[in-house]
Amino acid sequence: MKLVIVESPTKARTIGKFLGKDYEIKASMGHLMDLPKSKLSVDVDNGFLPMYEQVSEKRMIISDLKESGKKADSIILATDPDREGEAIASHIKEILGKGNNKKFKRIVFHEITKEAIEGALKNPRDLDENLVNAQTARRVLDRLVGYKLSPVLWQKVRRGLSAGRVQSVALRLIVEREREIEKFKKEKYWTISAIYLKGKEVNFELVEIDGEKIESQEVLDLYDGQYRVTKSILESEQKAKEVVGDLNKKDFIISDILKRETRRSPYPPFTTSTLQQDASRRLGFSGKRTMILAQKLYEEGFITYHRTDSVVISQSGTFALRNYVKKEYGEKYLPEKPRFYKTKQKLAQEAHEAIRPSVLNKTPEIVGKELGKDFSKLYDLIFKRAVSSQMADAIIESTTVFVDSIEKKYRFKANGSVLMFDGFLKATPQALNDNLLPDFKQSEKINFKEILNTEHETTPPPRYNDASLIGTLEEKGIGRPSTYATIVSTIEARRYIERQEGRFVPTHVGIAVNDFLVENFSSIDDIPFTAQMEDELDAVANEKKEWVPVIEKFYGELSQKLENVKDAKRVQIETEETDEICPKCGSKLVIRMGRFGEFMSCSTFPKCDFTKPYLEQVGILCPKCGKDKGGQVILRKTKKGRKFYGCSNYPACNFAAWKLEDIKNIKENG
């Protein structure tokens, strides 16, 4: 009998479908060994040796595995194909392997299919100690930061706080973005457009005056490089009106007509990061939710391994996708040669594949029936993205028409486009509406129906959401595929950030923690430094560095900072003053942030200890009971800290909505 050990019962059940009666499959239920939470558990004086212990809650599982291991002719370690999986396999071997090391074989596979399992069993390998060392280094590194920095936060900010190496950098991004928004000064500017009627209305935009462009865009380096500020030479209403007045006196002709064929190529299949970003944008899923769904899809055999930063597809996967395209859409949708995508990451880990369907005969509808609606939605994204990645380009005919005033002082422009061939868009329909311009002729005179000027305001940089924060972390080399979702969920659970309308806002506590860390641990709570540490861990995984010297160097810097911070001043967490008066002493009440969220207390605390729950009203009567019972819409939170709008009369009234716009729509529509 051969014993196969995986992490989860779902994975065990799926693998069991492909193996015969000669195999017994057991689940470890995750890690069997870990660092105890009660102490540092890292021997800093003896090579940073991690003091792993068997997880007490897993006693029965360990006992069961030991019994099965004694009876087995061989023990096959089939945990996930990454550093975490390698570490779990290493600990299993350590627990079961006394005197039986020859029994163990390590197999890896990136999809749970019959072919993949059989192929892995034919090609077992030894444990990869480099991957184990890289995971050990990360675990030790994060334990040192968490257990050395957290007590300092207790002393200098507030009891009960904690710090994390990568999470603190993510918090810093969010706080600094919020400060950019607070500093931002809105500026007004104007645009001018002209309406021309030729069968239909065509909108021409004024783009130049005396050869100078009306608008320019300045890219601000706010970490993601995506934010642009519009600059306009029409910076006053008076100037815009003067230009409109002058334009009304002019004659215009078609000065140039440019037609060109453009091609849009499909995106590569998903990586962990791009999957989380797309699921956030299209489905509104948090990174954590996406990873939970993807984990189940992988374990049930629907998709390939979901923790990856590679866009490469295996030869067999490419062949299957091309066959599917040919069968479903026809020969013309298939490129002459397979598409090959190159990973942009400096070190794509452990040669994983991109995320794709394991078998293409399982449609999103089938997934929905077996697992549920959200699984179907995510699988649909993965399925369409993978299929479209092996399809032909979309072909678009673009037309640009320029109109000049006779003396060439003013230039207008109109753009049109027509989809000539949908290509990969056949599989991933997108909002690409045809905008066919009328048939214009060179030097044709035209008379505008109306010339308009429109007022605009520059907009501040947007707050981060799941998609933009994960994208920025990946771009800056912070964290790795397996950690993106937990980075966000951890600082959210600590109440360092909150979600407002799907975007992250730092709390007063989060700002205080960030400011303290930036001032006193600037080299550690730093983007380049954290990215460099990720590179060092990758070097350990690739046998280019030893892990102990990496930790030793880091700990030396951390120890020095810890020594210097002893004399640092205690940080005051900002409170928000209200107009309410304390019924106990007559002072003003303020809003404070506690371990379980916001509450109201006396501004003289600890002199006066009065407190009461904080109910943030939004000035709207409850649509369900407000007219009859005076219920007010208030901001509330789920058990996991997510904000929503509910009725002040809860539980008598159970009205709830995620967005303020939804409530306003209900009221407007009766």
pLDDT tens digits, residue range 352-402? Answer: 789 999 999 999 999 999 999 999 999 999 999 999 999 999 999 999 999
Q: What tens digit of pLDDT does each residue of 398-448 get?
A: 999 999 999 899 999 999 999 999 999 999 877 566 788 888 899 999 889
Contacts of 40 (CB under 8 A, 6+ apart): 143, 144, 147, 148
The pTM for the full model equals: 0.82
Please give the pLDDT value at position 130. Answer: 93
Instruction: State both tokens at 314.
Output: 């295996």
CA dist., res. 245 & res. 249, Å (int): 7
Catalytic site positions: 305
Instruction: State both tokens at 254.
Output: 């078609």
Residue located via tokens 């002058």: 246
**Secondary element (H or E) of residue 611:** strand 611-613
Please give the pLDDT value at position 641. Answer: 60
Residue 242 CA to its chain's centroid (Å): 47
3-state helix, strand, coil in the chain (%, to 5): 40, 25, 35
Instruction: State both tokens at 103.
Output: 């029994």
Please give the pLDDT value at position 225. Answer: 41
Question: Measuring CA to CA, how many Å separate 581 from each of 293, 576, 577, 584, 603?
Answer: 48, 14, 10, 9, 10
Please give the pLDDT value at position 345. Answer: 57
Using omega within 30 degrees of 0 as the cis cutoff, is the peptide bond preceding 651 cis? yes
Please give the pLDDT value at position 99. Answer: 59
From 188, 206, 187, 186, select the one nearest 196 (Cα to Cα).
Answer: 206
Instruction: State both tokens at 365.
Output: 């509808």
Contact call for residues 101 and 90 (beta carbons, < 8 A): no
Angle at which helix 165-183 crosses helix 508-520, to 10 degrees, equals: 110
Domains of the chain: 2-127 (3.40.50.140), 149-184+465-490+505-567 (1.10.460.10), 188-261+395-457 (2.70.20.10), 272-388 (1.10.290.10), 576-668 (no CATH)
Q: What tens digit of pLDDT does each residue of 90-112 get?
A: 999 999 987 566 789 999 999 99
Residues in the chain with pLDDT values less than 70: 99-101, 216-230, 344-351, 431-433, 594-597, 639-642, 664-670
Which residues, in sequence order, are bridge partners of residue 197?
Answer: 201
Q: What is the DSSP letter of 296?
A: H
CA dist., res. 72 & res. 25, Å (int): 11
Instruction: State both tokens at 43.
Output: 């021997």
Residue located via tokens 């049930």: 300
Contact call for residues 228 and 379 (beta carbons, < 8 A): no
Contact call for residues 71 and 1 (beta carbons, < 8 A): yes
